[in-house]
């Protein structure tokens, strides 16, 4: 296969060229070596291309079949097709200049007639992925297993009522962790494809959740056994495909992690449109995870607020990326996690070139978010406002509360003597929003 032939009008490496004309295939903001707060943009952002949407997405929706033009793909689910797709994928990622990629086992290799055959297919593709990684320097951010597409997972995987399906899922995840390890993957993600319920009348919720916890412990035990040093990540999503997913949001996932002795073992992979579907902002989910030391990685995308489903569009909103970067920078970055574009081009954008426009736009949007967040942090106006807002806890009774020096009795004595609370100060919400806009 002539590698370059599928992207004839795309340079071997998309340049950083802020002076390029509008709409040119060039980064206007993502300058991978530019140092921001002591670290290069490449290291802050740790961009990853996801294999499933970018190389396996067809553009199908509930109303019609796929529309994507992928001239390298013969449309079959053969091993040969999977192997030649690897060349195109790495050619694409190299031209883009993203340092990482992510995959599900069944995106990269076809499912066989039984588990042994599926494993053999995966081994064959993994060997080729390993060669491609060595040749290009592109690394694996995370691997995961697809435990939702095959009809066997109709009732879930680790939470299936069918113990054989639990066993099958365990075997599949064992293999996926081994392949991730073999490819030097820096993380391993659990997204509960169908780990939830449609109807509580036929569901033993307690047993299902216990099984899910057992499953994660088994995964951890196996990771230790094979020397996998990567970070485990749990990805919250409130619904889709089931009515209620057990991994609803960051709070539900952290509760599950703590209730089952998985703290220190599993962190979170927060996805923008999953946050939206849960009725939260991305910033809320990131902050909630981060303050508890559990923000591991992000799936960068966005939903369409006028469509009710998980559209997984590429992020273009600078306000959103600024919010993301404010939280990420506050915790000192995401490593070993990164910014994975779990995003797809829309079905009207069916040409290979659209994949480049989508990723360049997403990367530039995050690079701008990074620069804006750095500027906000540098001047410190926002952090000073927040510090000032809570300054009543820096001394006097507030400090005693935080230091655990007083209880209800002491606080009652204090307030009886004082008679009333000090007056409140304005939250200055509009002012703060105006200040943020001054940086955009
Ligand atoms: C599904 C989703 C997944 C996970 C990996 O909504 O986000 O692609 O990121 O299984
Ligand atoms: Co995701």
* CA atoms of 67 and 315, how far apart (whole Å): 22
Q: What confidence category does residue 2 fall into, taking pLDDT thresholds of 50, 70 and 90?
A: very low
Same domain, 153 and 260: yes
Buried b (16+ CB within 10 A) or exposed e, 352-363: bbebbebbbebb
Same domain, 398 and 433: yes
Res. 181: pLDDT tops 70: yes
Kindly state the average pLDDT of the residues 217-226.
98
Residue nearest to atom 10 of ligand 1 (CA): 191
* Residue 107 designated active-site: yes
What would the pLDDT profile of 402-414 be if each residue is shown by its tens digit?
A: 999 999 999 999 9
Residue 189, ligand 1, Cβ within 6 A:
yes
* CA atoms of 371 and 440, how far apart (whole Å): 10
Q: Cα torsion for 7, 9, 11, 12, to the nearest 10°?
A: 30
d(CA 286, ligand 1 centre) in Å: 17
Average pLDDT, the chain: 97
* Residue 104 designated active-site: yes
Same domain, 172 and 237: yes
Of the three residues 328, 346, 379, the one that is the final residue of a domain is 379
Q: Residue with structure tokens 């053999």?
A: 120
Evaluate whether residue 12 is within a structural domain: no
Q: Residue with structure tokens 């943009």?
A: 41
Q: Residue with structure tokens 């962790």?
A: 177
Same domain, 279 and 417: no
Same domain, 344 and 226: yes
Evaluate whether residue 2 is within a structural domain: no
Q: What confidence category does residue 179 fall into, taking pLDDT thresholds of 50, 70 and 90?
A: very high
Of the three residues 379, 401, 417, the one that is the final residue of a domain is 379
Q: What is the pTM of this model?
A: 0.97
Res. 399: pLDDT tops 50: yes
Ranges assigned E (strand) in 258-362? 266-271, 295-299, 339-341
Same domain, 113 and 212: yes
The answer to whether the beta carbons of residues 228 and 179 sit under 8 Å apart is: no
Q: Which of 103, 144, 276, 344 to mutate to test the pocket of ligand 1 (most atoms within 8 A of CB)?
A: 144
Show the domain range for 170: 35-379
Of the three residues 347, 379, 411, the one that is the final residue of a domain is 379
Evaluate whether residue 233 is within a structural domain: yes
Same domain, 107 and 189: yes
Q: Which of 51, 240, 271, 274 to mutate to test the pocket of ligand 1 (most atoms within 8 A of CB)?
A: 271
Same domain, 144 and 41: yes
Q: Which of 101, 124, 119 is nearest to 49 (CA)?
A: 101
Question: Quick check: helix, strand or coil at residue 391?
Answer: helix
Q: Of 104, 211, 284, 359, which one is the catalytic site residue? A: 104
Where does residue 403 rank: exposed (0-12), middle (13-18), buried (19+ CB within 10 A)? exposed
Same domain, 301 and 427: no
Evaluate whether residue 239 is within a structural domain: yes
Q: How many domains does the chain have?
A: 2
Q: What is the pLDDT of residue 1?
A: 43
Q: Which of 360, 268, 288, 372 is nearest to 329 (CA)?
A: 372
Q: Which H helix or E strand runs over 84?
A: helix 79-96
Same domain, 300 and 185: yes
């Amino acid at each position: 296969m002539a590698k370059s032939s599928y992207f004839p009008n795309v340079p071997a490496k998309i340049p950083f060229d802020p002076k390029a004309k509008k709409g040119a295939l060039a980064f206007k903001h993502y300058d991978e070596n530019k140092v921001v707060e002591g670290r290069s943009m490449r290291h802050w952002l740790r961009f990853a291309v996801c294999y499933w949407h970018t190389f396996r997405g067809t553009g199908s929706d509930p109303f019609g079949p796929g529309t994507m033009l992928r001239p390298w793909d013969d449309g079959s689910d053969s091993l040969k097709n999977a192997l030649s797709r690897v060349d195109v994928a790495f050619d694409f990622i190299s031209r883009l200049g993203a340092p990482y990629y992510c995959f599900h086992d069944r995106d990269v290799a076809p499912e066989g007639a039984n588990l042994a055959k599926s494993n053999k297919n995966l081994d064959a593709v993994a060997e080729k992925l390993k060669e491609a990684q060595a040749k290009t320097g592109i690394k694996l951010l995370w691997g995961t297993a697809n435990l939702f597409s095959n009809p066997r997972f109709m009732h879930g995987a680790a939470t299936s009522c069918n113990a054989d399906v639990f066993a099958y899922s365990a075997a599949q995840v064992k293999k996926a962790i081994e392949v991730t390890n073999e490819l030097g993957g820096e993380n391993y993600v659990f997204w509960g494809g169908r780990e939830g319920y449609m109807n509580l009348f036929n569901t033993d919720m307690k047993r299902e959740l216990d099984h899910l916890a057992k499953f994660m412990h088994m995964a951890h035990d196996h990771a230790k056994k094979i020397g996998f040093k990567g970070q485990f990540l749990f990805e919250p999503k409130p619904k889709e495909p089931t009515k209620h997913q057990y991994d609803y949001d960051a709070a539900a996932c952290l509760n599950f992690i703590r209730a089952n002795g998985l703290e220190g073992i599993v962190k979170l992979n927060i996805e923008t449109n999953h946050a939206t579907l849960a009725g939260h902002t991305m910033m809320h989910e990131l902050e909630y995870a981060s303050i508890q030391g559990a923000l591991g990685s992000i799936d960068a995308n966005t939903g369409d607020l006028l469509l009710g489903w998980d559209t997984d569009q590429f992020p273009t909103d600078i306000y959103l990326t600024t919010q993301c970067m404010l939280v990420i920078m506050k915790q000192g970055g995401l490593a070993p996690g990164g910014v994975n574009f779990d995003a797809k081009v829309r079905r009207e954008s069916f040409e290979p070139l659209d994949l480049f426009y989508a990723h360049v736009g997403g990367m530039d949007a995050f690079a701008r978010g990074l620069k804006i967040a750095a500027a906000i942090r540098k001047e410190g106006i926002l952090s000073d406002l927040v510090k000032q807002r809570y300054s009543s806890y820096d001394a006097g009774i507030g400090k005693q509360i935080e230091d655990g020096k007083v209880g209800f009795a002491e606080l009652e004595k204090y307030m009886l003597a004082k008679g009333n609370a000090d007056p409140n100060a304005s939250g200055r919400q509009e002012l703060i929003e105006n200040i943020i806009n001054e940086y955009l």
